[in-house]
Structure 1
Amino acid sequence: MEKHFSLDEIDDVAAQVLNYNIKNIILLEGSMGAGKTTFIKALCRQFGVSDLTSSPTFSIVNEYVAANGKIIYHFDLYRLTNEEEAYDMGIDEYFYSGDTCLIEWPENAPNLIPLDHTVIKIEALPDGMRHLIVN
């Protein structure tokens, strides 16, 4: 799946992504400022999350409850200094819980990411649009 969209269209694109054949483990890749957290907020709205969603930069993980009662974990691995730090916090228990895990900066813990995952790549374009690829 590949999309070009404006931020005004982000909720529609998030709904389309959730209707695509995605896994419970979703990696969001893109440079700083590409819109990973903004897209995660849109995904959470589509899941029916009513809690305030924000980047878990300092806590590493935030937990949200979807409208259907299912748990969604939002990880920001940007501040990890090594994979052992993630392992020590029990990240594998989250990843193998069966719950949805939305992961920013997965490249900071590549050996801990389950093989069965979906990758969403987001790129900010010079005109303010976003380019998104789902694999």
Structure 2
Amino acid sequence: MDLATITRFLPDEDATLQLGESWAATVMPPLVVYLQGDLGAGKTTFTRGLLRGAGYKGAVKSPTYTIVESYPLPRFTLLHHFDLYRFASPEEWQDAGLDDLFASNCLCLIEWPQQGGTFVPAADLTVMLEHDGTGRKCTLTAHTEKGKKSLETWLN
């Protein structure tokens, strides 16, 4: 089995939440994760599941208008959830000072990373969510050794 890529079929929203929750038990920052997929594909739902699995009890909303939502967690310092959908140019990443949010004990999830161009840090992992009939197909791909280790730990 190729541990660099894992694909799962998610029949509904609950399955997307459960996938995020299950990964939360083993995920170890620092890690940069790109969340990719069309509008409504389940990127924020996956994030909500991850946060619940990591012990976060508060409301989880899409950062579409705020650009980033940050969540303190018991197991690691912060989870930052970015949404770059509304960026008009990649330079907005730099103008907003978003590099300052990347720290040694943070998990950073970035929706629409291509909108930030070369300013966005490279991904350790990509979570691709695609519509598939009435459900979703989720493909997790490791791009670095940290990303590969995260997937291996989750599977074991």
TM-score, normalised to structure 1's length?
Answer: 0.87
CA distance in 1, matches of 2:29, 2:78: 16
Q: CA deviation at 1:69?
A: 5.2
1:109 is aligned to 116
- Amino acid corresponding to residue 3 of structure 1 in structure 2: R
Q: CA deviation at 1:13?
A: 1.5
CA distance in 2, matches of 1:14, 1:87: 29
Change (3 A) 1:21 1:62: closer
1:94 is aligned to 101
CA distance in 2, matches of 1:17, 1:118: 12
Q: Residues 48-63 of structure 1: matches in 2 within 5 Å?
A: 48-63=55-70
2:14 is aligned to 8
Partners of 2:90 and 2:119 within 8 A in 1: yes
CA distance in 1, matches of 2:129, 2:16: 12
Partners of 2:32 and 2:107 within 8 A in 1: yes
CA distance in 1, matches of 2:124, 2:88: 23
Q: CA deviation at 1:93?
A: 1.5
CA distance in 2, matches of 1:87, 1:26: 19
Partner secondary structure for residue 119 of structure 1: strand
Q: Output the aligned Cα RMSD.
A: 2.0
| 1:17 is aligned to 2:23 | yes
Partners of 1:123 and 1:131 within 8 A in 2: yes
Name the % identity: 30
Q: CA deviation at 1:85?
A: 1.3
TM-score, normalised to structure 2's length?
Answer: 0.76
2:138 is aligned to 132
Partners of 2:29 and 2:107 within 8 A in 1: no
Partner secondary structure for residue 63 of structure 2: coil
Deviates more, 1:66-75 or 1:83-92: 66-75
Task: Choose from 14, 30, 34 the match for 1:27.
Answer: 34
Partners of 1:77 and 1:104 within 8 A in 2: yes
